[in-house]
Amino acid sequence: MNQPIENRYEFLYLFDCENGNPNGDPDAGNAPRIDYQDMHGLVSDVMVKRRIRNYVQSAAGNAMPNAIFIEHASNLNEAIARSAEATQEVKNAQKKDSKEKSSDANKRIVGARSKWMCGNFYDVRTFGAVMSTGPNAGQVRGPVQIAFSRSVDPIVTMDVAITRMAVAGGPTKASATAEEYAQWTESQDEDKLRTMGRKSIIPYGLYVGKGFISANLAEKTGFSKEDLKLLFEAVLNMFEHDRSSSKGVMTVRAPIFVFKHVGTGSDDQQRKRQAKMGCCPAQTLFEEVVDIEQNAEGMSKDGVNVPRKWSHYSVAADESKIPTGVELIQIRSVADLEKL
């Protein structure tokens, strides 16, 4: 197993959506998520983690040790059962040791399964997982936590009508043949062979996402520097290989602002402790260092009074406001991952 990371990290990333639905709300007819108090757009952490999982699955070929536990249309209990099979010798040893308490033995068996899952599934050792739905493999709290993303400005949702130039009707009997479907189609008026639908979109929105990485929890799951690099590679490219017409044009806007806690102490042990525990609150970094403002000149040039594209914003980091003991790493491409 690779060495777990020894530094605490926070990161802030920006992404925008043009003429699409960045994250539909099932409770609102799949319309874009919105905070109705101030009309700012929202994107759930689940949506972002899904894109990260999809990227890692494609990049790593869904092969261990970077397989994906929570993948599309899968049964989680299958992977959990594999962990039980792979650690069967632990259970066999428990049966031979008649002096061991059953509660202690069960804890050791579940611990072995959890360790196996962390070692073989990237998303388990990164985001954590509840793995007690089949053979009990326990619960893992992941070192990487992602918050809801929020748009910089209020968004406007649009309900767009669309036409499908075909239907999916026909004879009511289940055993209808292709010939019977053809005869039914021929008997219909052309106007009845079209259907209407709707799409919910936003014209434009720039979203801010925030994430947190705990060195303490990384120690428990084995989340390593290589895992960290893969995480930010995935964030940087999460929309590039996950396109859909409903999402419109979604783009992660570089750089990703990564805050690495390195410590300030002159003593090695003290510095390592500070690097692990952190040198300042996360919100200090998010609120004081990165500045996101509307670019009035760019909007005036394009004849609009609200932002309609990326160039209508200006984003900058004031490094003079970074607290002592924290480094800012700006990731613009995969080449910058080595700075982590």
Give the pLDDT confidence of 66-112 residue by residue, as tens digits: 999 999 889 999 999 999 999 987 777 666 655 656 777 889 999 99
Average of per-residue pLDDT values in the chain? 94
Query: Given the structure tokens 């209020």, which residue do they identify?
Result: 154
Q: What is the pLDDT of residues 288-323, one digit of tens each?
A: 999 999 999 999 999 999 999 999 999 999 999 999
Helices H / strands E in the chain, number of each = 11, 15
User: Which H helix or E strand runs over 118?
Assistant: helix 102-120
User: What is residue 93's predicted lDDT score, i.e. its pLDDT?
Assistant: 67
Whether residue 118 contacts residue 221, with contact meaning beta carbons closer than 8 Å, is answered with yes
Q: Report d(CA 322, CA 187) in Å as an integer.
A: 73
Question: Tokens at residue 110, please?
Answer: 């579940």
**Helix, coil or strand: residue 69:** coil
pLDDT digits (tens, 9 = 90+) for 221-239: 999 999 999 999 999 999 9
For the chain, percent of residues with pLDDT exceeding 70: 97
Q: Supply the pLDDT for residue 98.
A: 57
End-to-end CA separation in angstroms for the chain: 19
- Per DSSP, 320 falls in state G
* Amino acid residing at 198: R
**Residue 143 DSSP one-character state:** S
pTM: 0.92
| Rounded CA separation 119/114 (Å) | 9
Question: Where do the structural domains in the chain lie, given as residue ranges?
Answer: 9-156+199-339, 158-198
Distances (CA, A) of 186 to 167, 171, 180, 189: 13, 12, 10, 8
